[in-house]
Structures are given as structure tokens and as C-alpha cells.
Amino acid sequence: MPDWKTVTGGTIAIGNRVVNNLPPKERDIAMVFQSYALYPHMKVADNMAFALKLRRTDQKTINERVATAAEILGLTPYLDRYPRQLSGGQRQRVAMGRAIVRDPQVFLFDEPLSNLDAKLRVQMRTEIKELHQRLKTTTVFVTHDQVEAMTMADKIVVMHDGIVEQMGAPLELYDKPANLFVATFIGSPGMNLIKGTAKAGGSINVAGGSSLPVAGDHKVQDGQPIVYGIRPEHLELSERGPARPRSGVVEPTGSETMVFTHAGGIDLLALFPGPAPVPARTGNPPSGAQGFGPYIRHRDRKKNLNDAGGCRRHRLWEV
């Protein structure tokens, strides 16, 4: 899009205009970099106005656009400061303001939050989404953080080694990943992937002799090697089930609890809302015991492993 590489096929259209052969400055794209790229010897107002000055925009228009962008981003009190006098979040807002004053057709954000601490990333994530809703300008946001992609995007394009693996709405990719790469990339914590063998009658045999049910719309053949994918939040504790944990580590975070367990020769991660449903246990069960603690099983068994919208609570892939 910004013309860093030569187009090898197809067209790049911004609005109704094909920009394949246009130089970067004529494509009407404003970019926000990962490293802010602010001029340290310029004050905030001058950094934001720099691109307009290069275009020889009249001073009145420059002042109006800088003032408008500063008000949107909450930077009005900082216009006379230098970048070194600002926090990381404020510097990132200045970089965004420099893009906003250009009033482009497309914003291109190149991992703008990766240099910020965890708390500030959450804050800036919200601010960028609010900015997009206010300006209603098409925005391409490049990130390796799937949480940023899930929370901010209207449409996600998952790429791997230059190949588009899947494209769609965030929840579409979460509920219906097209392949193992998308399944492991989207979702935090990640999807449990269990290797097994398809069995006639609609089930999967996995390590330890356990058997996992399969939704009726899956087409599998007897003896076929399969990878069975299930989200941690789609597991539940029960008095009965196909797998009983032999060891476990409980990680409470307050709003939810992650339980890491080894059950039937399979490593599983289960996610439960609220406080820990079971006490933390480590180590192995007593000699000769068949396991300890409650069983772990798949939720929604009576719904044929589909939710109310017809979305499967598990996925299958051929090995």
C-alpha cells in the first residue's frame, strides 16, 4: 500500500482510484509508525504540522487542523512541549495527530502499541477505536497481537509467510478458524489441539483411550488421523466425563480462572469464569489411583456441540 515493494499482480484501489503506479506521496495514505518517529527538536505543534508545511499549506489552515487534531486527541495543553517532555502514550497521540491533520483517505498503523506497557496499550487501544468511530476513515492496523486484532477490527486478515490464511469478522475467525494456524493464533488463551483417530459412529479416539464426541456435520472416515480443537472456555467440570485430571495448576486472575491439567495422556487448558472452581493440586495421584478431582468434559453435549447460532464448539482438521 505505501509503495515500499513493487506490485507483482492485481490492483490496489483506494476509493475509486487505482494507485499501483502512483508514488507514495500521491496515494493519500497517512502512516503511524511503531517508533513514533517524532522530531526531537520540534515542539508538538510543529511535529503535527510538518507534513502540511511540506505541502506549502497556508498557515491559517495548518493552525486550524492542528488545533482540531489536538482537541480530538487531548493534546491541546501539550502543543508547546517537546517530545522528550511527554509520556509514551502522549508521544503516540502526537504521531496520530500528525497523520490526522493530513485528512487522508486511509490510515496505516504499523504496530503502534508495541512499545507501550500493558496498561497503556489497553488505554490506547480504546482511544484508537474511538478515533476511528469519530473520523470514519478507513484504517489498516498491522499487529502481531491477536487481542488487538480481535478488539479493534471490523475485519481481520490473518497472514502467514505472505499468504492470506483467512479473512473475516473477528468472531467468525474465532468460531470458525479455517486451519490450524488461524486456530492457534486467534484466541487467548489458545485453543487446545488434541491429536486422535476418527472412529465410526462419530467420535475421536485420543491418547489414554479417551473418546471425544464429534458434531454431526463433520465428515470423517473411520481410522482417519484428526486434530481435534476445543477452546478452553468450552470445557467444564463434571462428576462424569471422558477425562479425569491427574495433575493441575490453577491460575486465578479474579475475573476468571485458568486450570492447566494432564488428563488421559492429554495436556488441557480449561478456562472458567470467576474464582477457582477447584483447589489447586500439583503432583501425581496416590499409587494405584485412577486420578483425583472432578472430571473435565466438553460443554453443550446435549446441543450436539453447537451453540444457539449453529456454531460448532469444536473444530476438526485432517493431519
Report the share of the chain in percent with pLDDT over 70.
79
Whether the model clears a pTM of 0.85, i.e. scores above it, the answer is no
Partners of 271 in beta bridges: 258
Q: Which long-range contacts (CB under 8 A, 24 or more apart) does 248-256 make?
A: 248/278, 248/280, 248/281, 248/282, 248/293, 249/280, 249/282, 250/276, 250/278, 250/279, 250/280, 250/281, 252/276
Q: Which pLDDT score, from 0 to 100, does residue 45 have?
A: 96
Q: How far apart are the first and last CA of the chain?
A: 36
Mean pLDDT of the chain: 81
Least confident of 65-74, 172-181, 280-289: 280-289
Q: Which pLDDT score, from 0 to 100, does residue 285 have?
A: 43
Domains of the chain (ranges; CATH) run: 13-154 (3.40.50.300), 188-318 (no CATH)
Q: What's the CA gap between 270 and 265, in Å, rounded?
A: 15
Q: CB–CB of 115/35 below 8 Å? A: yes
Q: Which pLDDT score, from 0 to 100, does residue 292 have?
A: 39
**What are the pLDDT digits (tens) for 180-238?**
899 888 988 888 888 888 887 777 888 767 777 776 666 777 888 888 888 888 887 76
Checking if the pLDDT of 317 tops 50, the result is: yes
Residue 21 pLDDT class (50, 70, 90 cuts): confident
**What are the pLDDT digits (tens) for 249-258?**
888 888 888 8
- Pseudo-torsion of CA 176, 178, 179, 182, nearest 10°? -70
| Residue matched to cell numbers 494507485 | 19
Least confident of 32-41, 120-129, 144-153, 268-277: 268-277
